[in-house]
């Protein structure tokens, strides 16, 4: 791909532009966007023109730039996440209503937990997750459940890059992962908000590995945690079945 004088490709630049937006900054001025994406202002004007023309970015009447609806359409129309969401949503609604707490669906992606869907309720405990947001693997119940049910090479690969940080939190990691597999779910206290506990159960694929994870956040020390975990495990098995995987074992 043709590179700019500074050596980065057109695609690098497009990705840096899209990556400049987040839930707290859904709109940016051209100048702010150029700074964030580290693209010279003059080049930026031309690039924005092209991206707006294709609907990948949008420009409002004040000249502020945001992501375009066409980008959302292209990315969601045939996304691998769509089948998972469709299968999981009815079960997530059940959990959300039965437990009265935020319910989340997430996958492993690169070295993070990527939140695919989230159902909230008024009165739920604080929860930092947002759709398409990332959470750390070894500091969340979601990440620990995903690790416990990953193929060995995925676990070893993650550890090869993060062993020190992981062992800080989990000095007996392998024992802990075995325990999660024995119980069928993971819990984690006080991530970000010290007053909450997360619980997460794997949605298993045909090989018995986690295709995704279903999780709730409950008040810390809640007596309902074992019941919540059982509800999650039950719903996660239902989702596996709805995805066409047998939920045995």
Ranges of beta strands (E only) in 41-193 are 57-59, 65-67, 103-109, 112-119, 134-136, 186-189
Nearer to its own copies, 11 or 126 (CB): 11
Binding flag, residue 188, its own copies (CB under 8 A): no
Nearer to its own copies, 78 or 164 (CB): 78
How far apart are the C-alpha atoms of 53 and 186, rounded to whole Å? Answer: 47
Could you say which of 6, 25, 29, 128 contacts its own copies (CB under 8 A)? 25
CB atoms within 10 A of CB 214: 30
Q: Which stretch binds its own copies (CB under 8 A): 72-80, 141-149, 192-200, 202-210?
A: 72-80
Residue appearing with tokens 């596996």: 240
Binding flag, residue 51, its own copies (CB under 8 A): yes
Is there a contact between 182 and 145 (Cβ–Cβ < 8 Å)?
no
Ranges of beta strands (E only) in the chain are 57-59, 65-67, 103-109, 112-119, 134-136, 186-189, 196-204, 210-219
Nearer to its own copies, 38 or 76 (CB): 76
Binding flag, residue 132, its own copies (CB under 8 A): yes
Could you say which of 30, 75, 166, 192 contacts its own copies (CB under 8 A)? 75
Using CB under 8 A as the criterion, which residues of the chain lie in contact with its own copies when the complex forms? 1-2, 9-12, 14-15, 18-19, 21-23, 25-26, 46-47, 50-51, 54-56, 58, 66-67, 69-82, 85-86, 89-90, 93, 107, 109-110, 114, 119-121, 130-134
């Amino acid at each position: 791909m043709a590179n700019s004088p500074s050596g980065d490709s057109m695609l690098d630049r497009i990705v840096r532009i899209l990556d400049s937006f987040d839930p707290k900054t859904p709109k940016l001025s051209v100048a702010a966007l150029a700074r964030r994406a580290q693209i010279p202002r003059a080049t930026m004007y031309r690039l924005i023109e092209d991206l707006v023309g294709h609907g990948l970015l949008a420009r409002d009447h004040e000249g502020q730039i945001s992501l375009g609806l066409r980008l959302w359409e292209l990315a969601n129309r045939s996304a691998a996440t769509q089948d998972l969401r469709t299968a999981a949503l009815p079960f997530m609604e059940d959990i959300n209503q039965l437990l009265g707490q935020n319910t989340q669906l997430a996958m492993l992606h690169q070295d993070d937990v990527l939140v695919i869907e989230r159902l909230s309720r008024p009165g739920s405990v604080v929860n930092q997750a947002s759709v398409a947001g990332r959470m750390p693997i070894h500091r969340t119940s979601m990440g620990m459940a995903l690790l416990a049910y990953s193929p060995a090479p995925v676990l070893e690969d993650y550890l090869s890059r993060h062993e020190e940080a992981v062992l800080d939190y989990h000095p007996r990691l392998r024992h802990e992962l075995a325990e999660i597999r024995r119980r069928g779910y993971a819990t984690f206290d006080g991530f970000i908000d010290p007053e909450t506990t997360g619980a997460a159960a794997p949605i298993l694929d045909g090989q018995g590995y986690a295709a995704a994870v279903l999780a709730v956040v409950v008040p810390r020390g809640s007596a309902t945690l074992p019941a919540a975990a059982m509800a999650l495990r039950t719903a996660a098995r239902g989702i596996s079945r709805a995805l066409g995987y047998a939920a045995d074992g």
